[in-house]
Structure 1
């Protein structure tokens, strides 16, 4: 069940990356981090919510949002 929710999020991010090329780096980084050490990171990690909030902020034009996305994705590795 946890895998299904994470898989759906990654699919949604992939679809967004297809529609908006500038979003591809965000998706690529999320996909890489999600599969660290050959396993998926739990989708209930608190950083996921902050990542989605930062993505919304990036869409709204917040210049610091990409730094937030990067920081939260790195926390997923911990």
Structure 2
């Protein structure tokens, strides 16, 4: 399961050309702050929104299918 998670994470970072946008770094900091503050509802809300964003990003990246078209090379 860990290997699958790493593969998915690799896809996620690849979708940003290996440079995670600052807003997602900030989201991590916001989640940590909510946990430290013991604000369970806020931490849950932020984590859910962040996870949803990851799913959408990976789906979009896969759907874009940027692989070179081998038939065009013929």
TM-score (norm 2): 0.42
Mark the structure with the bigger radius of gyration: 2
**More RCO (CA 8 Å, sep 6+):** 2
TM-score (norm 1): 0.41
